[in-house]
Amino acid sequence: MRVLMTGATGYIGSRVAARLSGRGHTVVAAVRDADAAERLKTQQTSARQGAASLAEVNSLADSTERLRAQEVPARPLIASLAEVDRLAAAARNCDAVVHLAFDFSSGVEGAIERDRAVVAAFASALRNTDKPLVVTSATGLLGNTGPTPVGESHPPEAGFRLAIRHRVEVDVLSEAAKGVRASVIRVPILVHTAAGGGPIERLITTARRTGTSYWIGSGENRLPCVHLDDLVDLYVRALEAAPAGHVYNSNGGDISLREFAETVGRAVGVPARSLAPEQAVDHFGPFFATLLPVDNRVSNARACTELGWAPYRARPSLAEDLTALGQASRA
């Protein structure tokens, strides 16, 4: 298949692109480049439709180099998330779309509305084709789920700040009745690999910089986690085989926030202790302060049953990867 991807140069997307390429798919990566995107906006329609300008050629070359530097096997397409018409046109010329990019720069509300616009553009291009559209969401949108792992139909916690991301999921699933093989993958905050990167590396960096690895409050809440390679495997399985209209929780297991903080502390060689909730924003920033204290227990039964997904069967545990990252940082 010829697969259009957003977020293909990111922490997760670069691995997804590599796996798809290894399975014989051709990946077209929509690359966000602020300078190139601004120049493209000034080009005439004819240039957008095929008569590439010098600026576009130069931008394409720059993006190709970035893809090569990150070893992402993909053909670049200069298109920001704001250029929905351009993204839709590219989707019409592909056999599938995997949407991973999510831009928080305009705040949560702005990010959600932009994401909905991108999903709408992709869906309009794929309607009545039965082509797959795989969209990224997050387990964290559910907020506190309680002591028992919940399935994908569990409603978000009322009033939770990030619950508005559920609107995107509703939009995606509505396309299943319109001839789009649409599915959603919910990603947990604790995605890990011994190679580092992503939110976990930022948490490790914070612990090293401040000299303490903190949990928030009692730290008894539990967070879902997954190995990056297992998550990539789920994206590929969803693209190739997921039925239309399904959401998948991509967690492999869970860990208490206190246990996570203590493991980070041992890995980095700093003490671990509790942080008062009112201090969390100053220490972690609003993103982590919102998600880390949540008791976010979700079930992966649907992904395992429907798609044959088997997380952690052949992957290192979260603790093993944190230990490896800590050793590397002190080498």
pLDDT in tens, 228-262: 999 999 999 999 999 999 999 999 999 999 999 99
pLDDT beyond 80 at 305:
yes
Q: Which residues fall within 8 angstroms of residue 205, CB to CB, at 6 or more apart? A: none
What is the reported pLDDT for 64? 52
- Judge whether 16 and 74 are in contact, CB under 8 Å: no
**Token output for 322:** 């944190």
pLDDT in tens, 121-133: 999 999 999 999 9
pLDDT beyond 70 at 326:
yes
Residue 57: pLDDT band (50, 70, 90) is very low
What is the reported pLDDT for 330? 66
CA distance 331 to 326: 9
pLDDT in tens, 218-230: 999 999 999 999 9
pLDDT beyond 70 at 212:
yes
pLDDT beyond 50 at 45:
no
Highest mean pLDDT among 33-47, 75-89, 230-244: 230-244
What is the reported pLDDT for 122? 98
Mean pLDDT of the chain: 88
What is the reported pLDDT for 66? 52
pLDDT beyond 90 at 310:
yes
Q: Characterize 22-41 residue by residue with b for buried, 16 or more Cβ atoms within 10 angstroms of its Cβ, and e for exposed.
A: eeebebbbbbbbeebbebbe
Report the share of the chain in percent with pLDDT over 70: 87
Give the closest residue to 197 by CA, choosing from 61, 7, 12, 4: 12
Residue 55: pLDDT band (50, 70, 90) is very low
Mean pLDDT value of segment 261-267: 95
Sign of CA dihedral 191, 195, 196, 198: negative
What is the reported pLDDT for 38? 31
pLDDT beyond 80 at 62:
no
pLDDT in tens, 164-191: 999 999 999 999 999 999 999 999 999 9
What is the reported pLDDT for 159? 94
Q: What is the pTM of this model?
A: 0.88
Residue 255 or 105, more confident = 255
Q: Which residues fall within 8 angstroms of residue 221, CB to CB, at 6 or more apart? A: 144, 256, 257, 293, 294, 295, 296
Q: Token match 């997954």: residue? A: 226
Three-class SS state of 62:
helix
Residue 327: pLDDT band (50, 70, 90) is confident
What is the reported pLDDT for 272? 98
Domains belonging to the chain, first-starting first, are: 2-192+225-251+297-312 (3.40.50.720)
Mean pLDDT value of segment 4-29: 94
pLDDT beyond 90 at 40:
no
